[in-house]
Amino acid sequence: ETNQDLNSDQINDFYDVELLDADAPTTVANFLQYTTDGTYNGVIVHRSPPSFVIQGGGFAVNNGTVSSVVKRAPINNEFDSANRNVRGTLSMAQLGGQPNSGTSEWFVNVIDNSTNLDAAQHTVFGEVIGNGMQVVDAINQLSIFDLSEALNQSALGETPLAVSPLTALTGSVSITNNSSVITGNGTLFTSEVQVGDALQIGGATVFVTSIASDTLLGVDIEAAGTRSSLAATLFTAPTDDDFVVFSNIGEILDNV
């Protein structure tokens, strides 16, 4: 078995993981290869549904740009019913209904998820040790944001951030069915918004294409209904420091 030192910049702490190389040798070797070849440099926790898991290994951030890591071929599933997906375990992520689809992504179980994740045969290949779950819990308690449309990454629907990327605009707005024009009431579009900005209105993300006045602007999508007195928020792309970034994932002990 080996220990891993996972160091998160945003939480400014680390947690150690004991890897189960005797029970899941292929999965552990796969994880260590991604570790040693530099794939995990700058990797982020890109998914953190509350009281469920924190998930990483799939995306990295560099100068504000979030991109997918380069993945090797999928590995064979090594699920062992003796190693259940209980709180504190490190497990492989996979495509739904495809046990042999695991590549670079992994997650830590924040609660006992054995009922549903064991049935899906997610391979447990490690366990957080010591006081490490305090760090995991701190990550899982950060506010999460849907960055999927704004950053054009469909997997970033529940991403934890230290700082909100949303700023409320002055006034309220109205949308009209089949129209791409946003009408403001008490708004200050000319001073608060620029062409190309992403706005969240009524649960949808739209991009500004034109600004006619303080109370009138155009967006790239036609509304699917008519609604008034909606709040509008401006999306500002997060900086690297806003994400939970693993500055180092490295082997610290060869044999236990």
Res 256: pLDDT: 43
- What pLDDT was estimated at residue 41? 86
Is the pLDDT confidence value at 11 over 80?
Answer: no
Model confidence at 105: pLDDT above 50: yes
Band of pLDDT at residue 2, cut at 50, 70 and 90:
very low
- Is residue 215 helix, strand or coil? coil
pLDDT per position as a tens digit, 106-125:
999 999 999 999 999 999 99
For residues 27-46, give the mean pLDDT: 93
Closest Cα partner for 27 from 108, 127, 103, 112?
103
The reported pTM is: 0.89
Query: How many Cβ atoms from other residues are within 10 Å of residue 92's Cβ?
Result: 27
Q: For position 8, what pLDDT does the model report? A: 54
pLDDT tens-digit readout, 149-177: 999 999 999 999 999 999 999 999 999 99
Percentage of the chain exceeding pLDDT 90: 84
